[in-house]
Structure 1
Amino acid sequence: MQASAPDYRQVSRPRRLPADAPNIVVIMLDDTGPALSSAFGGPIKTPTMENVVKYGVAYNRFHTTAMCSPTRASLLTGRNHHRVGFGQIAEFANDWDGYTGAWPATAAALPKVLGHYGYATSAFGKWHNTPATEVSSAGPFNRWPTGQLVGFDYFYGFMAGETSQWEPALVENTTRLPPQHHRKGYHLTEDVTDKAVKWIKNQKALDPDRPFMLYWAPGAAHGPHHIFKEWADKYKGRFDQGWDELRKEIFARQKKIGWIPEDAALTERASSMAAWKDIPEAERAFQTRLMEVFAGFVEHADTQAGRIVDTLSELGIRDNTLIFYVWGDNGSSSEGQNGTISELMAQNGIATKVSDHLRVLKEIGGLDQLGGPKTDNMYHAGWAWAGSTPFQGVKLLASHLGGTRTPLAVSWPARIKADPVPRSQFHHVNDIVPTIYELLQIKPPKLVDGITQDQIDGVSMAKSLNDAKAPDSKTMQYFEVMGSRSLYKDGWMASAFGPRTPWKPGFDPAIFNWTPDQDKWELYNLNEDFSQSRDLAKDNPDKLREMTASFTATARDNKAFPIGGGLWASLFHPEYSPRNPAKEFFYTQDVIELPEFNAPKLGSASTLVRMEVELTPKSQGVLYALGAYSGGISLWIDKGKLSYEANIFQVERTRIETSEPLPQGRVTIEVESIRREGPATPMDVVIRIDGKDVAKGHVPRTPSLYFTTNDTFDIGRDSFSPVADDYFDRAPFQFNGDIGRVHIKYLPSPKHK
């Protein structure tokens, strides 16, 4: 009798899964706001979310952490965010145990575990879970998506918290990719979808019996809000009534379709947030266009998600694919504050007037430039508040549901019966991993790579998938982001707003003296108050004491102390924010596309740049550049002039230029920048050639932290989004001569007066 041929695939990859193990697709949008999807009564058309809900179930009491990196770390590990070192975004990491921003070996990620069970795994879009100083081409790579500690087989996307949708700095696995300048009609969301669709088709063609897990998390709709004009134009006039009326409209639809309880209350607008009637008539077209652009951006992203779902149907695998569609990684973002063309001003504590933004818009072509490559626009906080209907909170507020509550839809036609009744069990993003493990009959591993694993904090949602009346399996969950915090326990929630009001421009000096002890706690009975609208603290002091004590114990157990630890490097001590630890840097002309967090902090520190350059009568091009059109520093030669620009988030551009003819031959160019200590302080700049002062100027304000999160530093070119308008159409405007040794060092900064 002839023996059957061995299956060598099973020798190298033994199958430990049920025969009908599903494919798994996790879709997560960014900063979208819980009330905006048309599937749940919102004004933005989202056909893909509607489709997933139609063929599955949706949860109206699902929660995230109120912030990007923390939610993603929790989603992919099943643990609470501080337990895995992500008490804040990767760019604000520090040495406190719960805030390191360093993925621990004690918390193996879902793709790593599924890979051991035979799954092919991939991730597309935004990552934001690698230490900010480890994202250059030098690595180390163990905390990258395909690294040992995370375990995806394939990654295509960007490493930071946000990026230009038109000119992104991208990564494939561990390789940094060239710029996209030459690609007409390019948009990042479409790009990552193209790659995801191709990966699925290749996977099923090459290994059809192998299940896969795909994590699709585009940059949309995080700022900057970038989208083709025709998508924004779909919403022309739709928001002319303003955010106060929009909230009322959404609230009525939410009740009509049964998404929220009939007795839910519509919460009030905070007194510190502008009413629509307070917006001057001359500014309203700007404010409504910002929302139209955002709406088009969101619809476009949801439509791209639909291409992935359509691919599953095309290949005949939709029925046996488990889809989790998380509508957002946190609530609507109010970081656009009063409406902005350059949204990172908020994180740098720079306050401006809307008139400044309108002035710049007029200079670059008017309202139609919003959403394009010359703006990093973000809508007014009032629109974010409307996107949180019926709740009062927004992104960065872990205290109130608008910052943490987001819709979740789950579809698996082969196993989950479609049901329009909303699931009202209380759940958290850390519950997705244990749900997958239970559905796949996997026990959470106790050891991975010989390392003892931390406990799983999430609980399975499996029982509620086919039973809308299943009892709650999660009785307690804490929340904390940058000092804003709350605790849910047995239907009650205790909340402390924290030191920052996300929609207020600039930094209130009082925040620098803040301690958690001074915060006022609120108390809500969510069993009777769906929208967290009635503060019961005065009537129930004993219950409040019980809840705050439970928060303290739970937060300590999860490494969340010190409370507000995420503010350490982002606000209290920006000088300790993640950066290359070197005090001096030595470069050559070959150094390009160096991520900003790995580069010298030009503009936000005192520095001396010294470079050897060969000049000829035909010399032109960028000598060095840091940042993007939305903000940065650049030095270039054009038409016989040496020009320096400090682009402070588009609203203030300081140009310093030589007036005398440039010398020829080998010269030494120096740029000395002396910045005062403190947030948003001024800077004096002197340019020298061969030791002689040739130009000088004063920069009125500078960033406290950084210009961009995902753009780069370059010698001899400006690789991605160009800093200066002068060479916008010629980017990367590569220098046409020889640059020798480049030496950059930090200088002492005088105290701010």
Structure 2
Amino acid sequence: MALHEYPAGAAFPGVIGRTTDESSPAWPRPVRAVPGTPNVLMIVLDDVGFGQLGCYGSPIATPNLDALAADGLRYSNMHTTALCSPSRSCIVTGRNHHSNGMAAITELSSGYPGYNGVIPFENGFLSEMLLEHGYNTYMVGKWHLTPSNHETAAGPYDRWPLARGFQRFYGFLGGDTSQWYPDLVHDNHQVEPPATPEEGYHLSEDLVDRSIQFIADSRQVDPDKPFYLHLCFGAMHAPHHVAKEWADRYAGQFDDGWDAYRERVFAAQQDMGIVPPGTVLSRHDPDVPEWDSLPAPARRLFSRFMEVFAGFLSHTDAQVGRLLDFLRERGDLENTVVMVVSDNGASAEGGPTGTTNEAQFFNNAQESLEDSLALIDEIGGPRTFNHYPWGWTWAGNTPFRRWKRETYRGGASDPFIVSWPAGIEARGEVRTQYAHVIDMVPTVLDVLGIEPPTAIRGVTQAPLQGVSFAKSFEDAGAASDHHTQYFEMLGHRAIYHDGWRAVCPWPGPSFAEAGIPFGQPISSARLSELDSQGWELYHIDEDFAENDDVAAANRDRLIALIATWYVEAGKYGVMPIDGSALQRMIAEKPQAAPARNSYTYIPDTQSVPFFAGPRVLNRPHSITARVEIPDGGAEGVLLSQGTAAGGYSFFVQDGRLHYVHNYVGRSLHRVSSPGPVPAGAHELRFEFEPTGEPDLPNGRGTPGRLQLYVDRQLVAAADAPVTTPFIINPGALTCGANPGSPVTPEYPSPFRFTGTLHAVTVDVSGDLIEDSESEMRMAMARQ
């Protein structure tokens, strides 16, 4: 008997009798794709500027991406939001970032609908849409679309990848991670990397391995089932981690500096037709020193930072090549719609002189040139969390001005490549149509012949806010259907309309000109001043790189554009305008569990992200471990938070009890018991008692007394003149081990505790042991 199938939800068409011999069966038809349906591959790069790929004029070798562009199209007028989580939300939903609740990265969420970091279910993901049409859906790499306080084993899981239409996930939930020791999640659970750096591990390679595995697993069961792979590398976000041999390929190639790089890239962009005829290279940025004005040691350091970045990018390109080769060998690449985009312009998070540890940027604790030089041979390796200086950021966005976090074109214009050999006849051409990342979902649906769903899992869907640019695939002269686009990022605003672009920079066109740094709040009075005299106007159709502010000569047009910005802001939930950064990061946010003063952890459980753990910085706190030490002794970590980039560890080594606070990778502050912890059951305790006030503007957290207790008896004390002020990043908290790069070089990771560890309790109530007699003995011993 032939198998009888019927549409799901339809009436049963078979026959049901008293017994099977007088009945006939029928089955609900499984969701199957139309034969010949294309695969979809989206590759999202991180912090890659307009002038950093070889096919966009860069001297950095990206042969696989270049070949993809030669087999398809490059767009010179694609736009992002200027920051990662917001852009990523647009890429997968086809809606604007404030409509997605993603005004900024999830760590900066605040209690307003456009800012809370919670993507509404009425804004369906492309993965959810394609599931209904028979696709396998895979998310691999950086996610950064879950509220940071939800990235816990307690969930909620409803905004993790598997709950938003992806059938498989392998990657990391936050904004960045070590390429050598990443924080990994497989589907809905935390996992350790499959190898160590010493064994040749690198995250980018792992992500491509897993992408290939996901596709191959399905293909051996159903060779014709289409897939949607959303591959988001951690590259090129800091840390710029790559094996030394990749960086050394670029030895000496950037010794002529960022000014020369810009000139070289701009000339190549003109030859390629990436910039239109008559384009003028944007001005020298006031925040960036002239290369020749720098002392020789600084030039040597800054060149190495860029050599490592370039090697990292070439290594990433090689991994893209491995994936494309796999698809090509299987015969899948021909009918795969490939889109490659960056989430924003090149990043300035390395500060004016770069850093060997990006955690210093987030803590206002920029390292000195001398400290960076001392680690020059380690840059890119497991001991660093490095990022290049502003000058390379500015150069990476050639020909535009400024960078990530700002809505000038340097922050919001990005490389974009489309390839679909079976569906696009044009090869190696440049497209100039205005587009925004909210247009990617509508375009994919257009070429697949799929209507946006009116409901997903019973939730009525909001209309897509982007428009398809598919007609530009074959018609280079097709007019763009994207006429108006607002921008807002951390108070920096812009509006595009039919070839004109108005920009209201915050805090100013540069930090030097503004006289105040990034991340400052905007008062109502200041906003009124900005609206009356802070807007600039550029005729982009004639001034591609935003050089000539024509606001004075086009006052009526500017006023109309400002009014349009406010109309769009009202439509998409942009208000209230908030220029602050650090204030948003450290502000209290709802947690999965109610607020409490005591947190208890047990070993062999998942690590806890920084924003879901106890807030111990700048306040009195205690860490208490209940242990049993065997007769032969024990060693290992009781509780750790962070990595070599910064954090703390409470551990036993050589029989003695230790606590180390790693201040943003710059200095270690420790206290150790004078003698071993005896065998038996014990309460091992650390206390931090503040002894002064923090100096937050200068990146110095609260100084304090570090104290160790064994069975509530004080056994050691020391003073820490400085602690981490704002954030431990990476900041996972782990009981019974220190996975990843170790907080202190005194032990190798993961340094699991070898005795019996019952539980560790962190108390932030401020209740500390008072033992004046023991304190007096300790004070006398320190004389």
TM class, shorter-length: over 0.9
Assess if the C-alpha contact under 8 Å between 2:591 and 2:612 holds in 1. Answer: yes
State the AA in 2 paired with 1:384.
T
Worse-superposed segment, 73-82 or 675-684 = 675-684
1:498 alignment partner, one of 491, 506, 509: 506
Root mean square deviation, CA, Å = 2.5
Check conservation: 1:673, 1:684, Cα contact below 8 A: yes
1:13-59 deviation per Cα after TM superposition (whole angstroms, max 9, x unaligned): 55575543211111111111110111111111111211111111111
Q: How does 1:257-656 map to 2 (within 5 A)?
A: 257-326=272-341, 328-337=342-351, 338-359=353-374, 361=375, 367-398=376-407, 400-499=408-507, 508=517, 511-512=520-521, 514=523, 515-519=526-530, 520-564=534-578, 567=580, 570-571=582-583, 574-576=586-588, 581-603=595-617, 605-615=619-629, 618-656=633-671
Per-residue deviation, residues 340-397 of structure 1 (Å, max 9, x unmatched): 11012212222332212234x2xxxxx3311110000111111111100010121111
AA matched with 1:682: T
C-alpha distance in structure 1 between counterparts of 2:320 and 2:170, whole Å: 15
Q: In the aligned structure 2, how far is the partner of 1:416 from the partner of 1:346?
A: 44
Given the alignment of the two structures, is residue 686 of structure 1 paired with residue 695 of structure 2, yes or no? no
CA distance in 2, matches of 1:575, 1:401: 30
Q: Pick from 143, 148, 157: which aligns with 2:171?
A: 157
Match of 2:763 in 1: 745
**Correspondence for 2:95 among 70, 79, 95:** 79
Amino acid at match of 1:396: R
- Amino acid in the other structure paired with 1:369: E
CA distance in 1, matches of 2:717, 2:573: 49
Letter of the 2:82 partner, please give it.
A
Given residue 385 of structure 2, which amino acid in structure 1 is its aligned partner?
D
**Aligned position for 1:364:** none
- Segment drifting more, 43-52 vs 584-593: 584-593
Can you list the C-alpha shifts for 1:292-330, whole angstroms capped at 9, x where unaligned? 11111111111111112112211112221111111x110
Corresponding residue for residue 220 of structure 1: 235
SS at match of 1:693: strand
How far apart, in 1, do the equivalents of 2:522 and 2:497 lie? 31
Query: Is the 2:702–2:725 contact (alpha carbons within 8 Å) kept by the matching residues of 1?
Result: no
CA contact (8 A) 1:603 1:646 kept: no
> Could you tell me how far 1:573 is from its partner in structure 2?
6.7
**CA distance, structure 2, for counterparts of residue 572 and residue 73 of structure 1:** 19
Displacement, 1:168?
A: 1.0
**Structure 1 range deviating more: 544-553 or 582-591:** 582-591
Shift of the 411–12 alpha-carbon distance from structure 1 to 2, 3 Å rule, reads farther
Q: Distance in 2 between matches of 1:25 and 1:85?
A: 25
Offset, 1:712: 1.8
**Contact 2:537–2:551 (CA<8 Å) still a contact in 1?**
yes
Q: What TM-score, normalized to structure 1? A: 0.92
- What is the distance in 2 between the residues matched to 1:573 and 1:250? 36
- Output aligned runs, 1:122-133, within 5 Å: 122-133=138-149
**SS state at 1:206 partner:** coil
Structure 2 residue identity aligned to 1:411: S
Q: Is the 8 A contact 2:357 2:665 kept in 1?
A: yes
**1:572, 1:278 → 2: CA distance?**
37
Q: 1:182 to 1:379 in 2, by over 3 A?
A: closer
In structure 1, the residue matched to 2:224 is 209
CA contact (8 A) 1:66 1:397 kept: yes
% same residue: 36
Q: Tell me the SS of whatever aligns to 1:97.
A: coil
Q: Say which of 87, 99, 110 aligns to 1:94.
A: 110
What do residues 517-567 of structure 1 show as CA deviations (whole Å, max 9, x unaligned)?
3432111110110111111122222221111111111112111111127x3
How far apart in 2 are the matches of 1:445 and 1:700? Answer: 59
Provide the residue aligned with 2:770 in structure 1.
none
| Structure 2 letter corresponding to 1:516 | L
Q: Which amino acid aligns with 1:739?
A: L
1:43-98 alpha-carbon deviations (Å, 9 max, x no partner): 11111211111111111000111111111110000000110111111122221101
- CA, structure 1 residues 502+313, in 2 after alignment: closer, same or farther (shift >3 Å)? farther
Post-superposition Cα deviations, 1:669-699, rounded to whole Å, max 9, x if no partner, equal 3322245467343231331313333333343
Q: Which has the higher contact order (CA 8 A, sep 6+)?
A: 1
The answer as to whether partners of 1:592 and 1:717 remain within 8 angstroms in 2 is: no
Corresponding residue SS for 1:214: strand
Counterpart of 1:51 in structure 2 is 67
- Aligned in 2, Cα 1:92/1:512: closer, same or farther, shift over 3 Å? closer
| Residue type of the alignment partner of 1:30 | D
**TM-score under structure 2 length normalisation:** 0.89
Deviation at 1:182, TM superposition (A): 4.6
Return closer, same or farther for 1:426/1:50 CA change in 2, 3 Å cut-off: same
CA distance in 1: counterparts of 2:734 and 2:516, whole angstroms? 31
1:735–1:173 distance in 2 versus 1, CA, 3 Å: same
In 2, Cα distance between equivalents of 1:460 and 1:161 = 29
Structure 1 regions of 5+ residues with no counterpart?
362-366
Q: 1:461 to 1:97 in 2, by over 3 A?
A: same
Partner of 2:749: 731
Distance change in 2, residues 1:605/1:358 (3 Å): farther
What SS does the aligned partner of 1:511 have? coil
Counterpart of 1:47 in structure 2: which amino acid?
P
- For 1:23 and 1:432, the matched residues in 2 are separated by 15
Long gaps (5+) in structure 2:
9-26, 768-783
Conserved in 2, the CA contact under 8 Å of 1:146 and 1:155? yes
**Helix, strand or coil at the partner of 1:69:** helix
